Structure 1
Amino acid sequence: MTISPKLLKILLVEDSKSDAVLIQETLSSSRLLDELYVVRDGVDATNFLYQTGSYTNAPRPDLILLDLNLPKKNGQELLAEIKADENLKTIPVVILSTSSTEADIVKSYQNHVNCYLVKPVELDQFVHVVEAIEHFWLALAELPSSQG
């Protein structure tokens, strides 16, 4: 008897439309991805995670891909909020940011990020990073159940 792998739900918090489209296209062929939800700012991400506003039927994501430089509420604020919440803190969060500053990296890990990756400028390297996220987080890592 073969056990089918769990299909995962990812929340992508990304204000750059071009980066979001590239991530969506790269992950679209994944056999392990159930759904990729995209929100463009930190406030919408909060509403999604707490199922408020227009996101009352939003599912709990299995993984969050988070940009730092977001409008309305930045990625560090959102990360700190997620990791301080008993119901959300077990959701793995991967920072995917253009920032490679030591201060941003250190602050992210102080806020309990699970992984910090710098977005490459080159298209093929960007795709490689997204594929590496897919391989590790969707195929290799054991994630907690959706109940947290």
Structure 2
Amino acid sequence: MASFAFFRVAPILTPRGYDLVVMSEKLTILLADDNADDALLLQCACSEAGLDYGLMVVQDGAEVIRYLQGEERYADRAAYPMPALLLLDLNLPRMDGMAVLRWVRQEPSFQRLPVIIVTGSLDERLADRAHALGANGLLVKPVAYHDLVEAIRQEGKHWAHEAELAGLPH
């Protein structure tokens, strides 16, 4: 059985590569994960669940901030659209996930952006800290692939709906 806490899994579309751009007229998900295997697992599970959303992948915490602020290569919003959801690994190089979450919640432009923390183990203190900092959910990895696909299939539309209600750009 998969381990989940206070969250709904976000939809993701399978990409063309790891450090990639997936063009989509639909909602965009930003995945911050430096582990290519974990990123690919999430991408494949979401694709198998039949969800049709754009996915952007970044590999460190500083890159999340550059992406959100539209800096450097991310200035082209046609190629790098604003995400409707951030899937945020905790163990990122250059700036960890908690620091990124803190930054996101302090920035007026991103305070309503749903953030799901992705972590390797369920720790009550970690979950409490993430929730206190404003995380919308927590996904514990690794989960059984079938369980991940089913959770995404059942819950995938929730965050897209929430993003639309919040008026987030996409």
TM-score range, shorter chain: 0.7 to 0.9
Q: Distance in 2 between matches of 1:130 and 1:96?
A: 14
The answer for the alignment partner of 1:38 in structure 2 is: 57
Matched, 1:125 2:144: no
Matched AA of 2:29: I
SS of the residue aligned with 1:87? helix
Higher relative contact order (CA 8 A, sep 6+): 2
- For residues 70-118 of structure 1, the C-alpha deviation after alignment (integer angstroms, 9 at most, x for no partner) is 1110000000000111001111001121131122111101101111121
Q: Is the 8 A contact 1:67 1:75 kept in 2?
A: yes
Matched, 1:77 2:99: yes
CA RMSD for the aligned pairs? 2.1
Q: 1:133 to 1:38 in 2, by over 3 A?
A: farther
Q: 1:129 to 1:17 in 2, by over 3 A?
A: farther
- For residues 10-67 of structure 1, the C-alpha deviation after alignment (integer angstroms, 9 at most, x for no partner) is 0001111011111112223313x1x100001101111000011221123210011111
Q: Is the 8 A contact 2:85 2:114 kept in 1?
A: yes
Matched, 1:22 2:22: no
Q: 1:84 to 1:114 in 2, by over 3 A?
A: same
List runs of 5+ in structure 1 lacking aligned partners: 1-5
Deviation at 1:124, TM superposition (A): 2.7
Matched AA of 2:51: S
Matched AA of 1:25: C
- For residues 109-133 of structure 1, the C-alpha deviation after alignment (integer angstroms, 9 at most, x for no partner) is 1101111121234333343444455
The answer for the alignment partner of 1:3 in structure 2 is: none
Deviation at 1:147, TM superposition (A): 4.5
Give me the TM-score of the superposition, normalised by structure 2.
0.73
Q: Is the 8 A contact 1:95 1:117 kept in 2?
A: yes
Q: Distance in 2 between matches of 1:147 and 1:7?
A: 10
The answer for the alignment partner of 1:108 in structure 2 is: 130
Identify which range, 75-84 or 57-66, moves more after superposition. Answer: 57-66
Q: Distance in 2 between matches of 1:60 and 1:101?
A: 31
